Structure 1
Amino acid sequence: MDIKLSSDFLTGLFFCSLGALAIIIGSDYPIGTAARMGAGYFPLMVSSGLILLGGILIIRSFLTETEEIGAIDVRPLLLLIGSILLFGLLIEDWGFPVAGLAVVIGARIAGRHYKPLETALLAVGLVGFCLVLFSYGLGLHLPATRLW
């Protein structure tokens, strides 16, 4: 059988690996039952879903004709990872609004069609929505801005 390194095959392999790793890491948590869930129940279900989805993608890669993987553009990957790391670094000292703006802008810049006004509106809207949802709707305490 000829295995082509298609996007379906590699994505399926990644999902299966990630699901298996999560099951191994979470194996120490008590699972419980569906009526009385333990700490390991939800991670086990999500990990099992990842493995199932990965298996479907791997099977699909054998049954359909797909193109092989070409050159990989690392710019979006580096920008996404960098913006997530920047969020983690900024959240404690600068607060959620600034860290949220940084991660949304960094993620949007990673795309091919970057428009500054659209990005600014999206960032402000998403951060505002998250602030309202988490702070007021769910009553969670988010780190406040310490600009002054």
Structure 2
Amino acid sequence: MTDITRSRAWRDVFAGLIFIAIAAGFAIEAMNYQMGTALRMGPGFMPLFLSALLAGFGLLIAVQGFGRHQEVQAEPIAWRGIFLVCLSLAIFGYAARSLGLVPIVLLCTFLAAMASRNNSIVSALIMAACMSALCYLIFKVGLGITLPTFGPALSF
């Protein structure tokens, strides 16, 4: 059963507040570094500037959300999506070194894509293959990271 009510855009308000909180965390950490000047920037200058920018966007989003009303339709919680995304993250953390870059990205992207009911198995496999190839090109070829392409669990 869905229930439609009219309320403030609370999602926007909370999203803006989350942006502000994240910006505050980064700004506090940036204060531990030298700021320098605008002409000779120190290591803390850019993080502090970007934190201020993020906080400004967060404030703008929160104020707009507070001033705007929207119709909200209550929908059931997407447990499948929550479970598959959490499972994907857990598998990545647990098995990345043993499976290697290509298989772990393939598996995790497939699981995360299946979290949406809009994706079919074929489209999820295509996304996973493209993401795996892109990650290989960026991280192995371009950046040369040390994570093996195919890990010890898949060595034949």
Normalising by the smaller structure, the TM-score range is 0.7 to 0.9
- Choose the corresponding residue for 2:108, options 103, 127, 140: 103
Shift of residue 96 of structure 1?
0.8
Corresponding letter in the other structure for 1:90: A
Structure 1 gap ranges (5+): none
For 2:23, the aligned partner's letter is G
> Conserved in 2, the CA contact under 8 Å of 1:80 and 1:107?
yes
- Conserved? CA contact 2:8–2:67, under 8 Å: no
Question: Whose strand proportion is higher, 1 or 2?
Answer: 2
* Residues in 1 aligned to 2:103 and 2:135: alpha-carbon distance in whole angstroms: 12
Identity of aligned residues (%): 27
Q: Which one of 50, 55, 58 corresponds to residue 59 of structure 2?
A: 55
Deviating more after overlay: 20-29 vs 30-39: 30-39
1:45 pairs with 45, 49, 62, which one? 49
Secondary structure of 1:28 counterpart: coil
> Over alpha carbons, which structure has the higher Rg?
2
Deviation at 1:69, TM superposition (A): 7.9
Q: Is the 8 A contact 2:30 2:48 kept in 1?
A: yes
Of 62, 68, 71, the match for 1:64: 68
Any conservation in 1 of the 2:8–2:69 contact (CA below 8 Å)?
Answer: no
CA RMSD of aligned residues (A): 2.6
Q: Residues 63 and 4 (structure 1 numbering): CA distance in 2 closer, same or farther, change over 3 Å? A: closer
Hey, what does 2:3 align to over in structure 1? none
8 Å CA contact 1:31, 1:37 repeated in 2: yes
Say which SS state the counterpart of residue 98 (structure 1) adopts. Answer: helix
What TM-score comes out, normalization by structure 1 length?
0.79
Structure 2 stretches of 5 or more lacking a match? 1-6
